[in-house]
Chain A
Amino acid sequence: MSLDPPKVMLDASFLAAITDPSHPRHGECAAAYGAMLDRYERDELLLVAVGDHLRDVDLGTEPTTLQRIGWFVRRPHLGPLAPVDPLYVGYQHRRAARDTKVDDPDLSLTLVMCERHKVRRVATLTDSLQQYGLQVVDLTTPADVETSGSETAGNETAGNDDDHQAG
């Protein structure tokens, strides 16, 4: 039993779709994200992303060293991804990602971070994550939810932690 609400990993493709209004699937991703925000606000789930992916979205692909350090010390919770907490990537995670049998480096890093941080749900636009035993957010139906008792138990008063930065 985890003390924290279940985490949902927003992968690189999903982050890109949310933050780019011209993205062809922006609308459906934003709708699904909006629904997740409601549950985040009720403390029924936590939104997380691989640190590297989130940093690329926050700072662009070529940030200065100072920007990188500032972001590493404390990510500002602003903009469309304000509720998302980074899962900081350490050397051990990169090494584990290199040792996976997956060719795509982004995918392998996402898998490693999911495994290390016990994330079992992902929001993604790719099909590749679904084959690894992860639950993938359904972008087509804004439907009823399966909310198992074990997942929500104990989270009614569990609060937000500004310093939630698993690493």
Chain B
Amino acid sequence: MSTATDAPTFVPPSTRIGLFEVVPFEWFRPVRLGLMITYLIGYLWWLKNRGLTVDRVSVAIAVGIFLVCAFVGKSWRTWGVLLIDCVAYCAMWVAYEKTRGAADDGVSVLGLFRVKFPLQVESIRNIDRWMFLGHDPNDVLQRHFWGRTVRWYDEVASATYMTHFVFPMIVMAVLWAVSHRQWTRFMKRFATLIAVACLMFVALPTAPPWMASSRKYHYQLFPELHRNAGRGFYQLGFDSFRDGYKLALSNGNGVAAMPSLHASFALIVPAFFLPWITPRWLKALVLVFPVMMLTSLVYLGEHWVIDGLVGWAITGCTFWFWNRMERRGRRTRAERARSALDLHSEPELEPA
């Protein structure tokens, strides 16, 4: 019964009494906007004077304050949904932190014994060497570019590396405030990525390049790499978070290198927004960011190239999976409606 056109037509209004002329003005709108602008100014001040917040609790508090600003004056139900979202969000990060730790200690099976998977060191390095015709990309980059003084590219690499701690959270917070639907879409992909990464951290504990080259760990697969991902960032003037960053590093798991979440997070954000970006050159430009991230990770000795590539592949798979699931969800709902009304769908309906 339905037509194969893009019907129905929407008739433009004949008169122009704007809705705002009939519906009372919502005073909370400018209040929310004002609070969010104040928050932004406060955040930038904090960033400059107190440094970047990198630990999960501080980031969660920062996101929480933003959300309070963004949801002031909304209905109780919206606040209830927000509360449920926040619980799910915190549960995701707690699960992530707990599971990531299991890569070090192995997994306890019913409290009877522990299963510990072998640490990958040489195998992963060999994949990189195979891809780069017998060269170690980490070693090559550091040999050619690392110097005693901090240069411009150190600042770029370091700043790119540090965006990992705030970039996805900023996107989440903004999506939360702007569109709950899009926030849910983003979080489905993000949580799936983290879940897969955690499984891999446990099943495939991998020593990162700095560890594989370190004298401390007795691997010394190639000349020792410098490990100071923050030095370019300090040079930029953001040095006050040094202690917090070192604390965050010490809490992290040293052998959770495969896959690289730095690389994955750097891709998931541009990939999510790609459909809204029309010019091709701009699409290409935003995709430079994940490439910059992976190059920085390799240069700073934090990850192997293959870690980043696997991270990107998992990110791509999460998009593929959820795009299919969401399409199926829409189709199921539409089919339910059609069958209830005895309507027929369009003959071919395959998404681009």
A: residues with CB less than 8 A from B are 1-4, 18, 30-44, 46, 72, 77-83, 88, 90-93, 96, 99-102, 108, 111-112, 114-116, 121, 123, 130-139, 141-147, 153-167
Asked if B282 is at the interface of the complex by the 8 Å CB criterion, the answer is no
Residues A111 and B343 in contact in the complex (CB < 8 Å), given A146-B10, A163-B180 = no
Closest B residue to A127 by beta carbon equals: B14
Q: Return A28 CB to nearest CB of chain B, in Å.
A: 10
Neighbouring A residues of B11 by C-beta, 8 Å? 130, 135-138
- Could you tell me if B326 and A142 are in contact, using CB atoms closer than 8 angstroms? no
User: Do B185 and A34 touch across chains, with their CB atoms under 8 A apart?
Assistant: no
Within 8 A of A (CB), among B1-20: 1-3, 5-20
Q: Which of B2, B13, B275 contacts A37 (CB 8 A)?
A: B2
In the assembled complex, the Cα of A38 lies from the Cα of B331 at a distance in Å of 9
Q: If A34-B2, A160-B329 touch, does A143 touch B343 (CB 8 Å cutoff)?
A: no
Do the beta carbons of A35 and B8 come within 8 Å of each other? yes
- Given A38-B2, A41-B330, answer yes or no on A96-B8 (Cβ-Cβ < 8 Å): no
With A130-B13, A135-B11, A136-B11 known as contacts, the answer to whether A90 contacts B75 (CB < 8 A) is yes
In the bound complex, residues from chain B placing their C-beta under 8 Å from that of A72 are 77
B336 pairs with A79, CB closer than 8 A: yes
B345 contacts chain A at the CB level, 8 A cutoff: yes
Question: A111-B19, A164-B181 are known contacts. Are A142 and B8 too (CB-CB below 8 A)?
Answer: yes
- Tell me if A131 and B13 are in contact (CB < 8 A): yes
Q: Which residues of B contact A90 (CB under 8 A)?
A: 74-78
Residues of B within 8 A of A (CB): 1-3, 5-20, 22-24, 26, 73-78, 81, 175, 178-182, 184-185, 275-278, 319, 322-323, 325-327, 329-334, 336-338, 340-341, 343-346, 349, 351-352
Q: Is the CB of B333 within 8 A of A83?
A: yes
B5→A144 contact, CB < 8 A: yes
Q: In the docked arrangement, what's the CA distance between A43 and B333, Å?
A: 12
Tell which of A4, A81, A134 touches B181, judged by Cβ atoms closer than 8 Å: A4
Q: Given A90-B76, A137-B10, A156-B275, decide whether A41 and B345 contact each other with a Cβ distance below 8 A.
A: yes
Q: Chain A's nearest CB lies how many Å from the CB of B208?
A: 33
A144 B9 Cβ-Cβ under 8 A: yes
Chain B residues with CB below 8 A from A137, complex form:
8-11
Q: In the complex, what residues of A have CB within 8 A of residue B3's CB?
A: 31, 34-35, 142
Shortest beta-carbon distance from B109 to chain A in Å:
35
Residues of A within 8 A of B185 (CB): 158-159, 161
Cβ of B330 and Cβ of A83 under 8 Å apart? Answer: yes
Given A3-B178, A38-B2, A96-B23, are A133 and B13 neighbors across the interface (CB < 8 Å)? Answer: yes
Residues on A with C-beta less than 8 A from B20 are 115
Given contacts A42-B349, A88-B75, contact A18 B341 (CB under 8 A): yes
Shortest distance from the beta carbon of A153 to any chain B beta carbon, whole Å: 6
Give every chain B residue within 8 A of A30 (Cβ-Cβ): 1, 341, 343
Nearest Cβ on chain A to B191's Cβ, whole angstroms: 14
Known A-B contacts: A131-B14, A145-B6. Give 6 more (CB < 8 A): A83-B333, A83-B336, A136-B13, A143-B8, A164-B180, A164-B181
CB closest chain-A residue, reference B346: A38
Query: Given the known A-B contacts A101-B22, A135-B10, are A31 and B1 also in contact in the complex, defined by CB atoms under 8 Å?
Result: yes
**Whole-angstrom distance between the Cβ of A25 and the nearest chain B Cβ:** 14
Can you name the residue of chain B whose Cβ is closest to the Cβ of A1? B276
- Is there contact, CB below 8 Å, between B75 and A92? yes
Closest A-B pairs by Cβ, 10 of them: A159-B326, A90-B75, A34-B2, A154-B276, A145-B6, A35-B7, A167-B77, A80-B340, A135-B10, A82-B336
Are B338 and A37 interface neighbours, CB within 8 A? yes
Q: Are A143 and B9 interface neighbours, CB within 8 A?
A: yes
The answer to whether A164 and B184 have CB atoms under 8 Å apart is yes
Q: Compute how far the CA of A133 lies from the CA of B13 in the bound complex, rounded to whole angstroms.
A: 5
Beyond A91-B75, A114-B19, is A158–B341 a contact (Cβ under 8 Å)? no
Cβ of B352: which chain A residues have Cβ within 8 Å of it? 156
A-B contact list, 7 entries, CB within 8 Å? A3-B182, A111-B22, A133-B17, A136-B11, A137-B10, A138-B10, A167-B74
Q: How far, in angstroms, from A112 to B327 measured CA to CA in the complex?
A: 31
Determine whether the beta carbon of B329 is less than 8 Å from that of A144. Answer: no
Q: Which residues of A contact B17 (CB under 8 A)?
A: 131-133
